[in-house]
Amino acid sequence: MMSSSEQRREAGGEGEGSSSTTAITLAQSDDHHHHHLSPPPQLSRYESQKRRDWNTFGQYLKNHKPPVPLPQCNYNHVLDFLRYLDQFGKTKVHLNGCVFFGQVEQVGPCTCPLKQAWGSLDALIGRLRAAYEENGGLQETNPFANSAIRIHLREVRDSQAKARGIPYKKKKKKRKIQINSSNNNEARADVDLKLRIQVNSAAFA
């Protein structure tokens, strides 16, 4: 026969085992729950780039002397930001006195600066314009949509096209084709209407 103390120890051991089993079951239940949590949605390439651009611009304002709070940002800060980015550019823009000015291909070295390509800046402004409003900014006060930014981008486009010998081609031909196509559709509709009128007139004659 077991003594009363041994019986208590055995009972206590069973209690501890039961508690341990319950804890393991709860832990397994929690693990099972975590495994079934849906992962966060993966951002598209555009959304990821937009977020990086927005963070970069915010950091630029913080490092500005003096720092500029985002609500006080205006188009002048945006223009300064675009000029600041030129130091990280990879597009050779020949100066007016360079022997390669206006040439598409560069056959030798030159000391002309590297800048951000117009297309990259234009796409950047588009992303920042959207990010500004998505982060609580008002459309009416959006500094990235200011006319001064559009003028600056147009000047960069024209100057780079001239310096690199790559003229910018406006998409006017496509618009003419669309207009002509619309006119042709209207002309065909007029012809169909006239034919129906003639057929109906002949039927009642």
Decide: 50 and 131 in contact? Cβ < 8 Å: yes
Question: Cα 25–26–29 angle (5° rounding)?
Answer: 90
Task: Please report the pLDDT score of residue 177 as a whole number.
Answer: 46
Domain boundaries, the chain: 45-170
Which value, in Å, is the radius of gyration of the alpha carbons in the chain? 35
Decide: 75 and 85 in contact? Cβ < 8 Å: no
Task: Please report the pLDDT score of residue 34 as a whole number.
Answer: 52
Q: Is 37 helix (H, G, I), strand (E, B) or coil?
A: coil
**Cα dihedral 16, 19, 21, 23 sign:** negative
pLDDT means per 10 residues in the chain (205 residues)? 52 48 48 57 89 97 94 96 95 92 87 94 97 94 97 96 80 52 50 45 44
Task: Please report the pLDDT score of residue 68 as a whole number.
Answer: 95
Q: Which of 131, 185, 126 is nearest to 153 (CA)?
A: 126
Decide: 128 and 57 in contact? Cβ < 8 Å: yes
pTM metric for this prediction: 0.62
